[in-house]
Every structure is written in C-alpha cells, then in structure tokens.
Chain A
Amino acid sequence: MTADRNRNPRRLAEALQAIPGVRTVTERNGALWVDAPLLQVEAMAAAMADLGIRLGTVTAIPHAGDAESTVIYHYIDEHRVINVKTCTRNGALASLAPTVRAASWAEREIRDLFAVEFPGHPNPVPLIRPDGIDTATLRAAMCRPAEVARKPVSPLASPSANNPARS
C-alpha cells in the first residue's frame, strides 16, 4: 500500500518541501505543519495523490482586518496528520473538488460560512446555508473578539453589573 512508502518521515518531509509554494515543514504537537502562504493548491493535491495520502478536511480561519482567510488543508496518512497552511488571494483559492472528492463538501461549507470562493468547484451550491440567506453566515461573528472573563468574577466586584459581559 502507498501509505507504507511514507513511513519514513524524512522522505515525506522532502516530498512536502518540493511542492511549489511551500516555505517550511516543521513537526509540532505530533503533526507535520507545512507553512505555504503562496501555495499552489492543485500542485499540492497532485503531490498528495502521488503519496497516497487522503484529504481529511479543510479549515478556514477568517481574518478580522480584511476579506482574506487562512485556509488549512488537513491531510491524513493514517499515522499522522499533515497540515498545509495557506492563505486566500482576493478571497479565493483554486478548488480541489474536481480531482479530490473529499474536498467537495469541505469547500462548499467554507464558502457558506466564511465567503471563501473556490473557482472551479463542479457543484458550488450551498451545503449548510439555507436558501435566501446571504453568504458568510459566520464570518463577521467569528471575527468579533469574545468578551469573556478569564477567571470567575464575583457579582459584588462591580457594583452596577448584574452579570459578567458576554458577547
């Protein structure tokens, strides 16, 4: 099976380093983290398909300042997780869905919740978002900082407040 080829972590790291756009490959918290702000996602998908590593899912983290988002592709080779971190360009990234089935739902969900476009997606219809609701259901709310106390606060500590503030 292809997964056996990747047992050697150094060979895997070399293969990851060779993907166009990859800056660094580091091992942290039991997983491989690939930093690639200008990643060519299709090249990554092809390289991972070659290695026989499946796409687990895709995470998007919206940026508060602009319309961009951090996007992390989580690949799983059964023995470890390989996280490839990149960034959207003009709020978009090329879609992996035409070649990678597992990317289809993940990309549709990110488009619904965070307004990241995936040009080239074969079926770009909403997955989570109901009809009649504008795009980016969670983007603004997720960017707002949470107003949560670090420690328990006695109601007596502030004379006027009834409750610790919560957003």
Chain B
Amino acid sequence: MAMLKTILGNLLRPPRTRDPADMPEVPPVYRGALAHDAARCTACGTCAFVCAPKAITFTQEPGVSVSWHFFIGQCSFCGLCAQNCPTRAISLQADAPGATNSAAGDGLRLESVIRLQPCTRCGAAHVPLPDATIEALWGVEEAERGYCPECRRRAASEKLRAAFVPAEEAHHDR
C-alpha cells in the first residue's frame, strides 16, 4: 500500500534530477585558475614560500629578467599564494582551470616574465615598482623614479637626515 502511495505521488511530482545548468552560483571565494600580473609582481618570493606542493617557482636571467613559473599539475588550489601576495599580483579566477590546450600556451604551465631595469643611479638591475605604488610610497620626484630599492632607501635616509640636521652643521661634520 505504502509503495502504491509513493508511486502515485511521484507520478504527480516533477522529476528531482537537476538540470546540467542548475548549478549553485560560483561563490566569490572560489579558488579557480591562477592568473599572474607581471606588472604588479615585485619578485618578493612570498608565493613560492607559501606554496606547499611547489607549483610556483622562479628562474632568472641575471640582470635581464625574472620569470614566475606555475605548473598546474602540482597546484593544490589552496589559494595561499593569492592571499599572501603583498601586491595582489596573483589572483584566482572564477572559472575552473582548463585541462589542456587553452589559448595561452598548453594551459598546464604558466610563465610570466618580469623585466628588470637598471637603476638610474647605481645601475643595479631591479624589478621596477608599479607607478601607483611609487607615488603612494615615495612621492613623485622624477629623479628617484628609476632607483633600485637600495638607492631609494639611501635617498630616503638622506632626506630624513637633512630634515633633522641643519645644512651647515652637516657640512661642519664632514
């Protein structure tokens, strides 16, 4: 009897199978395919440090460029690289990572080349910071724009010193 009731009930009800399109929306915190923005990357090494399966590595051509490498076969999609990136150069997309043959290469490995620039003061090769970052951190003084981090630190401390010690005294010291 119970079975008959179930059968009759089921005849009147719509099917419970879900459409392929009936998917829950992708949550904003979804951890999908990795994307890297070379213009924002400072090659600080944080992403490689937090990556447990070592899917992210760096290679470099000394004085010319640093390359950021990503191999999807090793990635565990924990999202720690994007979370810890200080300049938000890495982001996780809302789409699922392509298995093979995406438009950008074979889809399994990403490479992103960060060009180095010689310092306008000492000539040391360094990763140039994005313009907006330089403006926010050090102002817009044109001469210091192409400085390497070492020279910028030096310039900043000279400015600080100049602000504390009057010019004549400083001259006297020497």
Contacts and interface: CB of A to CB of B under 8 A. Distances in A.
Interface in A116-157: 149, 151-157
A30 interface: no
Instruction: Name the prevailing secondary structure of the B interface residues.
Output: mixed
A163 interface: yes
A156 B63 CA distance: 9
Contacts of B50: 152
A164 B56 CA distance: 12
Interface of A: 149, 151-157, 159-160, 162-164, 166
B101 to A, nearest CB: 28
A151 B43 CA distance: 14
B125 to A, nearest CB: 8
Contact of B45 (A154, A159, A160, A166): A154
B48 A152 contact: yes
Interface in B30-52: 43-46, 48-50
B58 A155 contact: yes
A155 B45 contact: yes
Given A156-B66, A156-B127, A149 B58 contact: no
A129 B46 CA distance: 37
Instruction: Name the prevailing secondary structure of the A interface residues.
Output: loop
A163 B57 contact: yes
B57 A162 contact: yes
A159 B46 CA distance: 17
Given A155-B60, A160-B62, A162-B58, 13 more contacts: A151-B49, A152-B49, A152-B50, A153-B45, A155-B43, A156-B66, A156-B126, A157-B45, A159-B62, A163-B48, A164-B48, A164-B49, A166-B54
Contacts of B62: 159-160
Contacts of B66: 155-156
B74 interface: no
A160 B49 CA distance: 18
A81 to B, nearest CB: 28
B59 interface: yes
Given A149-B49, A164-B49, A154 B43 contact: yes
A156 B116 CA distance: 10
A159 B60 CA distance: 8
Given A162-B58, A163-B58, A166-B54, A153 B43 contact: no
